[in-house]
Homo-oligomer: A and B are copies of this chain.
Amino acid sequence: MALEHAILVSLLEKPGSGYELARRFERSIGYFWTATHQQIYRVLKRMESDGLLEVREVAQQGRPDKKEYSVAGPGRAALSRWLHEPVEPESIRHELAVKIRGAAFDDPAGLVSEVERHRKAHADRLAHYLSGERRDFTGPEAPLPLDAGRELQHAVLRGGIAYERMTIAWLDDVLATLHRLGTARPGI
């Protein structure tokens, strides 16, 4: 049920509609948790009927009406309860790693373009994170003050940046390995 908690955190940071939440899950929250709009709408409805959230119909000009959700008392309590119980250390699920091991039974050299594609995607994500970091935290235009919430957001973003840097370095390592297998000892 981590999606519920991610939604509670996001709505505490700023109330918003399902649509707005979906967009946040493509950006900041999406650094460490993903969700599609269908999932979000479904869970929002359930959370509201469970009394964790409050809705407010908001009429807009030039746009469809929206339902703005905010966290109700029981929602805050549920988040607090969850924060005080342990969660399992996450385990990774990395399809590309499956492919890399599988390449031994096919054509290792054929994997190069796929690995390069992933490397580019991670480099793009890193650039995106870094520009976000400058904009929100370290740049001269970054808003002040840095309260606890923003400090913690920054710490999480630093984790995303470290993850992308590590992944890029690893993919370079993988590319070097594939290159070595393709040239030094062909046919093995």
Residues of A within 8 A of B (CB): 2, 5-6, 8-9, 12-13, 30-34, 76, 79-80, 82-84, 86-108, 110-111, 114, 117-118, 121-122, 147-149, 151-156, 158-160, 162-163, 165-166, 169-170, 173-174, 177, 180-181, 185, 188
Contacts and interface: CB of A to CB of B under 8 A. Distances in A.
Contacts of A33: 93-95, 97-98
Nearest to A118: B89
**Chain A interface mostly helix, strand, loop or mixed?**
helix
19 contacts: A9-B98, A13-B101, A31-B92, A33-B94, A34-B93, A79-B102, A79-B106, A83-B103, A87-B95, A87-B99, A88-B95, A92-B163, A97-B159, A100-B152, A100-B156, A101-B156, A103-B152, A104-B148, A151-B177
Number of copies: 2
A121 B87 CA distance: 12
Contact of A95 (B34, B90, B181): B90
